[in-house]
Amino acid sequence: MITVVRVAAVVAVVVLTIGVCMYLSEDFKHKYQPRGFKNPVLAMEMARSMEEVGVIIGKPGHSDRSQMRSQQRIDFFFILAYWSEFVLMSVLLWRRRIPQPSTWP
At 103 the pLDDT is 62
- What distances in angstroms separate CA 14 from CA 11, 18, 41, one per listed residue? 5, 6, 21
Q: How far apart are CA 58 and CA 30, in angstroms?
A: 8
Q: Domain coordinates of the chain in residue numbers? A: 2-103
| Distance in angstroms between the alpha carbons of the first and the last residue of the chain | 28
Residue in 15, 3, 2 with CA at minimum distance from that of residue 77: 15
Average per-residue pLDDT in the chain? 87
The percent of residues in the chain predicted with pLDDT above 70, rounded, is 95
105, pLDDT greater than 70: no
SS3 content of the chain, % helix, strand, coil (to 5): 70, 0, 30
Mean pLDDT of 33-55: 87
At 87 the pLDDT is 94
